[in-house]
Structure 1
Amino acid sequence: VTTTIIFSTTTGQIQFYTFQSTYTTLQFAMIYYLRILHVQQRTLKGPNPAISTLIRRALGFALFAVSIWLIDLRACEFVNGLTQKSVLRWNLQLHAWWHVFSACALYHATMLVIYYHFDVRTNLGYFAEKAGTTGSQHQQQQRQEQQQHQQPYVAHWMGFVPVIRLRHSKQV
Structure 2
Amino acid sequence: MGRPAPGRPRIALTWGTSTTGVLDGTGTRLADVLAGLTGLDAEIVVAVTADERERLGTPPPGVRVLENLPLHVLLPGCALLVHQGGFMTALTAAHHGVPQLLLPQLPNQISDAKALAASGAARILPAERTGPDDVRAAAAAVLGDDSHAVAARRLQREILDQPTPREVARALCDLAAAGT
Q: Which has the larger radius of gyration?
A: 1
Question: TM-score, with normalisation over the residues of structure 2?
Answer: 0.29
Q: Which has the higher contact order (CA 8 A, sep 6+)?
A: 2
Comparing both structures, which one devotes a greater share of its residues to helix? Answer: 1
Structure with greater proportional strand content: 2
